[in-house]
Structures are given as C-alpha cells and as structure tokens.
Chains A and B, each alone.
Chain A
Amino acid sequence: MKILVPIKRVIDPYIKVRVKADNSDVETNNVKMTINPFCEIAVEEAVRLKEQGIADEVIVMSAGGAQCQEQLRTALALGADRAIHIDTADKIEPLVVAKLLKALVEQEQPQLVITGKQSIDTDNNQVAQMLAALLDWPQATFASDVKIEDQKVQVVREVDGGLMTVAMNLPAVISTDLRLNEPRFASLPNIMKAKRKPLDTVTPESLGVEVTFSQTITEVTPPAARKGGIKVESVSELLDKLRNEAKVIS
C-alpha cells in the first residue's frame, strides 16, 4: 500500500522563540528551522511499515514556501520514496491544508495517511481530524502503537486517563503521539541519495483548491513573565514560606 505523510517546517523546538517588537508575529528570520517533531515520528512510522513489507511507497508532502523543500529532502533522507511540495504562503489554515491533502489523496490513492498530532508552532491539533472528515475516513488520533493486518489497522490511542485501542477499516487517517517511536537520524549516504529522489512542486490551483483565510491574528504578545523567586536554604524554611507567606499549605 501507499502511505502519505504530511510534514511541516517549524522553528526548532529547542529554540526559545521571541515575539517581534511590532507584535505581528514571532521572529522567524535567522532562526533554526526543522521538521515538526510529531511529523518526524509520522515519517518514521511510515518508513517502518515499509521496512516490514506492509507499505510499498511512502510519499511525503509539505505545503508552504520554497524553503519547506529542505524538510522534504530530510524526510527523503529518512526513507521516504518521493516528495510533493505544494507551493503556498507559509501560513495557511488547517482546514485549507486538509483540503489540499484531500486533493492529493484523490490523486495518489494512498491507503493510509499518517500525520503528526500537532505542529509545535501553532499548536492547533486539527489537520488529521479535518482530513478524515473531508474524506469520510475513520481517524485514530494521538497514536502510540499501530498494527496493520489484512485491511484493518489497530491503533492504541493516548487519551486523558489512559489508553484506548480502536480498530479501523482502511483507508484511514492516523495522527502520531510522541511515544509512537524514536525517529532515526539520516545518515550522510542517505542524505546524498535523497538529493536524487523525486520532488515535485504543484500549486493549490492545479489541485483545484482555493486558499482562503477565515482567521486573522491581530496581535502576538509574550506571556506575562513570572517574577523571579527566591532560593531557600532548608526544608524548614521552605515549609515556613509555603505556610505563612504563600499560604498554600496548612
């Protein structure tokens, strides 16, 4: 089967983001960018399914400016077979991403789409669910284990309070949680080989999707800073502060 994996270019999660002085956005110039960590887990899972002989082709896609081709090349180096870049503005809304993905699914006919559960920039956690709705496919979000047998996929989902296991008929959409797997590192030979793998660029128009916006970010601000606290010398001093100053314990 074919697996389609959407990935997103985001600010590296270990970078402390800075809000721009004009409060229009966070600073992205000269900031290290990377594949969204949840998307990397999705790529890894798809590549593992290929290594197990369950999948025969892994297609990665990304929607955004030309720079997201960097992340597509990285995904190819991690084991994806080919890449599709949808050339759009960098900040398109999740519903539009889902519509673009739906058009790609109709074109490529994958049996499975594996996405990250959320991107660590906008923190929306929406695309997988929206895509499943548009395709009328079943969904299993926040996956920590995936098993495929015959035409069924069994997924363990991380839910509040514990774990839930569901079985879905294929085709289906899965979104990954952190504990699904440990993504591999791309080796230098694989990075070189990835340069020769196919990477096609298409446009929303060619897919028949109109890029619309229904949400406007009018201001981005830093959160209220916490006041620097004090260091106490002993357990008894700590307990005294908690009882008599902060009054949070009796």
Chain B
Amino acid sequence: RNNDYCKGRLFKWTNYLHGWQERFLVLKLGFLNYYKNEYEISLGCRGALSVKQALIQPHEFDDCRFDIRVNDSVWYLRAHNSDDRERWVQALEEHKILCKAESGYGSETNL
C-alpha cells in the first residue's frame, strides 16, 4: 500500500518562545511522526501520535489550521494553504478508519 500515507512540511506549535515552526511530518503505520526536517529522518522522530484514537479538528476560522488530540496531548498544526490542510485531514481520517479496521479484525473483537 503506497497511498495510505501522507508526508510533507507543516507548521507545528512548539512553545511560547519558538511559536510555530516548520517541521516535516510523516503519516504511516498508524502513527503521525514529526522530524525537524526531511534530512533528519534517519536520526529518529521527535514525537509521535497514535492516529487510531486521535481526534482531528480543522480550525473553525483559520482554514490552514487543524488540531490533533489524543487524550491530553494536542498537536496544533498549520498547513501552507487550505488545500494542503484538506489533504492532511482527509489522509488522517482515512488512516484512522484503516487502523480501526485492521485492529478490529484481530484482538479487540475477540476480547
């Protein structure tokens, strides 16, 4: 499956000192990982969120923004334009359904 992931540059909220910083994000195998940039992928990811339980929320007023929540963890993200946001949100939603279907087939339904 080559079409079940998404990658590219997005602005990610870091902290009050550094604000929004461009980062390289990769969606695959149930996780959204982020890296400082595409050249540092081999150094390991700087953070990851499990997509299966994630809540993906496009921002109400800012059409570039979307938030991803897993329990208490929130990533605030900003795409370069609204089309790019659309591409990410759609990929994430599709990936989420795929994750649920795959794990549902295994352990969970049998418990």
Chain A bound to chain B: no
Question: B: which residues have CB within 8 A of A?
Answer: none
